[in-house]
Chains A and B, each alone.
Chain A
Amino acid sequence: MKDKFLTGAKRALEETRKTLKEERFEMCIINAHMSCEYMMKISLEKMHSKVRFMGFKDLMGILKRQKLISASQYDELEKLRRLRNKVYHEAYIPSKKEAESAFKIARKILEKC
């Protein structure tokens, strides 16, 4: 399962990079969110935690409690989570700055996990 998640995370990060370059900021945010989700799952699976059926917010909470991410990283992920929901459900148009920031968060999480 870990390999599957890693492949998924890398693919999603690549899509994040590509869509940022193409200025498709909405898709960039959605892909960054997905990449972070897979990476959080990999981290928790390494600790033998069950990750199945866990939402993004639950994953963030466990990682923070286990001190696998810092408080500021938790805040960054929460910002990404909210942004993704706004894009997906409220047709929000993210700015280039928001998309660049989402890409940075996803890359950082991939490096950390």
Chain B
Amino acid sequence: MNKHFTENGLYMAKRFKIRKFIENLIDSDVNIETVVLFGSSVSKIEKISGDIDLLALKRNAKPQLDVFHELLDNKILEVTVIDIDKFERELRAGHPFALNIVRNGLPLYDRGLWNNFLRYKSKQPGQRFIASYLNKARKLLKEKRLPAATIYVLNALLLSQNKVDLSHKLDNLKEKTNVKNINEEALTNILKELRVKVER
């Protein structure tokens, strides 16, 4: 079992006190090839707080995408289980979620699959995802749902800058995009600029 923990992975698993959990998870399902830590936990090595996100890459997963939660001490451990082929299809399409895992995730446990995905690190987010965020933002603006529209515009802005660590939280997004105060007019302008960029 230990030989498949990556060097950093073993350290992180111990630090987050999830080593036993991962070992049990692997024991429970022989089709799990890789377990990756992603989300804010990766960058919070020194300050262990909040929830922990893991991705388990599994052969022949049915359904192809599912999730479960585990309560550990006061933390919620969220485990997304995804079929390996589906994950690769998403990477090829430039899906932001999959790209974020490959670019910013930390493999904790790996039976040799992870290296195959590293070539997608330089893949740009698919234009259709940016367009989709913009369409949603426009719809929300029409409905006068300003906070929600801001979230979609700022996520589209991040994607257009080839950044894939998207968020549902406005404060995080403002920090990442450096956009401080945003009103309806500013939002409409960013939306227009991005639309021109995407259509080009």
Contact = CB atoms under 8 A, between A and B. Distances in A.
B45 interface: no
Q: Chain B binding site: helix, strand, loop or mixed by DSSP?
A: mixed
A35 B173 CA distance: 27
Contact of A53 (B25, B63, B136, B155): B25
Contacts of B25: 53
A57 to B, nearest CB: 5
B69 A23 contact: no
Contact of B68 (A8, A23, A53, A85): A53
A4 interface: yes
Given A8-B69, A38-B69, A53-B25, A91 B132 contact: yes
Interface string B53-69: 00000000001011111
Interface of A: 4-5, 8, 23-27, 33-34, 37-38, 52-58, 81, 84-85, 88-91, 93
Given A53-B25, A91-B129, A91-B136, 13 more contacts: A8-B76, A26-B168, A27-B168, A33-B67, A38-B69, A52-B24, A52-B70, A56-B68, A57-B66, A81-B66, A89-B97, A90-B132, A91-B152
